[in-house]
Amino acid sequence: MSYLAPPTLNFLFANRVKWTSGHDSYPIWSSEPDIAAIKGVFASELLADDSQHLDISIRYLANGANHKVYEASHSSWPMTYHLRIAIPLDPCLKMESEMATLEFLRRMTTVPVAKLIAWSSRTDEGLGYEWCLVEKIPGVELREVWRKVPREKKVDIARAMATFMAQIWEPTVKFPQIGSLYLSTQQQRENGPSGPASNVSPRKVKGDESQQLEFFIGPIVDGTFFTGRRRYLDSTRGPYDCCHDWLKALIEIEQEFLRSAKVVLDSRSQAPTEYQEPEAWTKVVPQDIEVEEEYFPDEYDSMMANCEAYLRVLPKVFPKNEYSVGDRRYALHHCDLRSANILVDPESFDITGIIDWEQTSALPTWYCQHYPMFINDTNILEDEEPPIPSTYDEQEKSYNRVRVARRDWWHNNLLRQKFDQRLSELGWIDWLPNSPRDKIKSSFIQGIADLSDDWEIAKDRLAAIETMLDDEEKSESSVMVSSTACHES
């Protein structure tokens, strides 16, 4: 990456997206969306006569990590609608990819997702932010009622989720590349300039228009590439033809993250005036540069060497030509299937919707075929069914954390069995990636995630991986020798 002079201006410019400090940081909105502009979006998309917009009732509904959600109703509408407004973390790509994913799921599966009315990945219009307008999905978050759901209904939920997952993992709806999903016309793809992102540009689309568009795999939407100042780093976003290329890009963004931090710290004297004061600099380094100045310089060489070590081992875990280019091996992966993102009817507890598809990508089986997060916890087998805790309310004196945990572990193990049973009924036998090689692959990508935060853990993980690779090679050699001996005898 070539840096502006001074280098601090690459990351400390005035109109950057700022983030809170701390481990669970989140982006800070530079301004509140204008209510009049919000009402204008609802009116222009849902009312034949704009003069009726004064009668639209708008309610601020929620503030997620990356969105603000507004709910609107009108006497002439048969239902309620939601407007999700996005903070500009990954301009255009994140919105366009999520909309394509929702359209794909509605066309190709029975997974219950929001129906699209319209969306805009442009920021040069009245609202000033990207937005999407959808029909409201009825129901409540599963986490709000989970303790009230009878066991038999929890089993129904687990089985329903297995049905949905099987549809997404079905070979006929897999993709030939790793990346995120987008929509365009065939003509756009044929006539547009070359390059993976050439057909992804800001636009406004109505929901019925999206049904005429075709799907293609484009740049991956992953927070690794846009969280904090990573958005402003050079990176390779794909699409990738194989796991090797994908993992290489993940390692390289970690290298660039570390390298750019050192450049900024080394050029402190050239920082903008407002950051020259020690107090301001002490605050901005961990918050915007995202390193600890006290330790980073001494650890830098070790961290960079660690990245190089991962690049060295990469071909052993993910050979460049492991599979034929074009094989449909990659399935859509929802990275956050927790109970907050599953909506259910508050009375029947039937699933009414699955939300938060904004960072969905087409990924390999070893990465995406797992239990949903809300039942995927510690696998501890109890000889007997643990007693039901006297209370699940943490505020009550009789609350016992250990008893609650034991009951949850036992119960979720039961639900995983029901999940397996449903997949078996659908033809998915031994579906969970659990081979020694799958474990090595999973450990390798976990190590990459720690390269810039917990580099010593990443180093230890790589050492363990190399031991597993050596054991694997010895085992294969032993089998070959044994086979040769049998053949000669």
Min mean pLDDT across 77-91, 335-349, 394-408 is at 394-408
Query: What's the average model confidence in pLDDT over 288-316?
Result: 95
Question: In this predicted structure, what is the pLDDT of residue 452?
Answer: 93
What tokens does 363 get? 């990924």
Q: Among 111, 98, 113, which residue's Cα sits nearest to residue 358?
A: 98
Report the alpha-carbon distance of residue 387 to residue 155 in Å, rounded: 19
More reliable by pLDDT, 198 or 448: 448
pLDDT of residue 24: 78
Neighbours of 255 (CB within 10 A): 19
Q: Helix axis angle, 436-449 relative to 296-317, nearest 10°?
A: 150
Helix 243-266 vs helix 436-449: crossing angle, to nearest 10: 20
Quote the CATH superfamily of domain 33-224: Phosphorylase Kinase; domain 1 (3.30.200.20)
pLDDT of residue 327 exceeding 90, the answer is no
Q: Is it the case that residue 331 has pLDDT exceeding 70?
A: yes
% of the chain exceeding 70 in pLDDT: 91
Cα 381 from Cα 414, distance rounded (Å) = 10
Residue 130's pLDDT is: 97
- The model's pLDDT over 102-113, given as tens digits with 9 standing for 90+, comes to 999 999 999 999
Phi, psi of 133 (to 5 degrees): -115, 125
Q: According to the model, what pLDDT value does residue 304 have?
A: 98
More confident residue, 64 or 54: 64
Contacting residues for 72 by C-beta, under 8 A, at least 6 apart: 39, 42, 56, 57, 58, 59, 80, 81, 82, 83
What would the mean pLDDT of 344-351 be, rounded to a whole number? 98
Distance (Å, rounded) from C-alpha 444 to C-alpha 251? 11
Identify the pLDDT of residue 194: 46
Averaged pLDDT, 26-40? 92
Higher pLDDT: 405 or 481? It is 405
pLDDT digits (tens, 9 = 90+) for 227-272: 999 999 999 999 999 999 999 999 999 999 999 999 999 988 888 8
What are the tokens at 457? Answer: 């853990």
Per-residue pLDDT reduced to its tens digit, 158-181:
999 999 999 999 999 999 999 999
C-alpha distances out from residue 44 to 48, 56, 147, Å? 8, 12, 42
Confidence of residue 456 (pLDDT cuts 50, 70, 90): very high
Mean pLDDT (whole number) for 370-380: 87
Pairing state of beta strands 140-141 and 81-86?
A: unpaired
Spatial CA neighbour of 369 closest among 300, 408, 423: 423
pLDDT given for residue 166 in this prediction: 97
Count of positions (residues) in the chain = 489
Provide the percentage of residues in the chain whose pLDDT is more than 90: 69
Cα separation, 471 vs 456, in Å, equals 23
Q: What is the mean pLDDT of the chain?
A: 90
**Tell me, what's the pLDDT at 20?**
85
Judge contact between 433 and 310, C-beta under 8 A.
Answer: no
Residues 15/30, Cβ–Cβ less than 8 Å: yes
Per residue in 178-229, pLDDT (tens digit) is 999 999 866 565 555 445 455 688 899 998 888 889 999 999 999 999 999 9
Start-end of CATH 3.30.200.20 domains in the chain: 33-224
Residue 2 CB contacts under 8 Å (≥ 6 apart), including other chains? none
3: tokens are 């840096």
Rounded distance, CA 216 to CA 179, Å? Answer: 9
Average pLDDT over residues 324-335: 86
Average pLDDT over residues 326-351: 94
What confidence tier does 51 reach under pLDDT thresholds 50, 70, 90?
low
Q: What is the pLDDT of residue 489?
A: 55
User: What is the structure's pLDDT at 207?
Assistant: 81
User: Which residues are paired to 57 by β-bridges?
Assistant: 73
Could you tell me the pTM of the whole model? 0.92
State the pLDDT at residue 431: 95
Per-residue pLDDT tens digits for 111-153: 999 999 999 999 988 899 999 999 999 999 999 999 999 999 9
